[in-house]
Chain A
Amino acid sequence: MKPNDVILQSVTKVAVVIIFTFSIYLFMNGHHNPGGGFIGGLSTAAAVVLLYLAFDIEKVRENIRIDFKKLAALGVLIAVCTGLGGVLFGEEFLTQAFGYKELPIFGKTELTSALIFDTGVALAVIGTAVNIILSISEDR
């Protein structure tokens, strides 16, 4: 007989959606408002940890098939590659560029290479934070 966590689990299902939405909002608004890659990554990691708390570790691992160590490494790789992109166009390392473009749904949008750098930061933060929590919580 299992202990029933019906209330905790069903509220977690709703709350995790809100936290993911809010972290994406924080991530995308980082250029002009408070927010950015670090906070967006941390709140995403908080949602993942909430999933681990409410459900089993094994169950979440079956459904989210992401190796968080590789995710952190991928984030660092992306951040370094945006720096090298500046070198590719004959500028100095980590030179950022931005421009305005007409996108189909959003209209006139500001596209920056800093956003890609922020993606790298966010992935590194998610990977590191979740990895720390997981390695603390597992018994060996």
Chain B
Amino acid sequence: MNGIAEIITAFFILVGTTISLLAAIGLVRLPDVYTRSHAASKSSTLGVLCVLIGTLLYFLISDGYFSIRLILGIFFVFLTAPVAAHVICRAAYRNQAPVADTMVEDELKEYYELNPEYKKKSIVVEETVQVDE
């Protein structure tokens, strides 16, 4: 009984950590904000999900304990992590983050030029400091 639980749990947790490692490698290797966000959000979401499912199954099979907190955690991560990536990417686009050379087409650009109200002015860091004499 315990052996089966450990094998299943080990499988899920190994898959989860491997996916998380791939996400970290993608975060280092990929060129710009959008591709990095693509790597980080999707694979880290799936990685965390696999680890949580492994933990849930372990306690379910070995102790017969059904953790409602882990179910809530799985649902919550699945719900919010992609939205966080979406919001970060949108903020990056509105502040004209640099794009990799490999980009072929920017469909959103035409839309933003047609509707200039959508486009927020990027935050200007430079400030002119006037000193009174």
List residues of A whose CB falls within 8 A of some B CB.
1, 3, 7-8, 11, 14-15, 18, 21-22, 25
- B72-A18 in contact (CB<8A): yes
Instruction: Given A18-B76, A22-B72, answer yes or no on A8-B83 (Cβ-Cβ < 8 Å).
Output: yes
Number of contact residues on B: which range applies?
A: 10 to 19
Task: State how many angstroms separate the Cβ of A28 from the closest Cβ of chain B.
Answer: 13
Q: Per a CB cutoff under 8 Å, which of A1, A18, A21 touches B117?
A: A1
Instruction: Given A15-B76, A18-B72, answer yes or no on A1-B87 (Cβ-Cβ < 8 Å).
Output: no
- A18-B83 in contact (CB<8A): no
- B118-A1 in contact (CB<8A): yes
B residues near A3, Cβ cutoff 8 Å:
118
What DSSP secondary structure best describes chain B's contact surface?
helix
What DSSP secondary structure best describes chain A's contact surface?
helix
Instruction: Given A7-B83, A7-B86, A11-B83, answer yes or no on A1-B75 (Cβ-Cβ < 8 Å).
Output: no
Task: A7 to B72: give the CA distance in the assembly, Å.
Answer: 21
Task: A7 to B90: give the CA distance in the assembly, Å.
Answer: 11
Q: B120 — nearest CB in chain A belongs to which residue?
A: A3
- B115-A1 in contact (CB<8A): yes
The answer, yes or no, to whether B79 is at the interface (CB within 8 Å) is: yes
Could you write out 24 A-B pairs with CB less than 8 Å apart? Answer: A1-B115, A1-B117, A1-B118, A3-B118, A7-B83, A7-B86, A8-B83, A8-B86, A8-B87, A11-B79, A11-B80, A11-B83, A14-B79, A15-B76, A15-B79, A15-B80, A18-B72, A18-B75, A18-B76, A18-B79, A21-B72, A22-B69, A22-B72, A25-B69
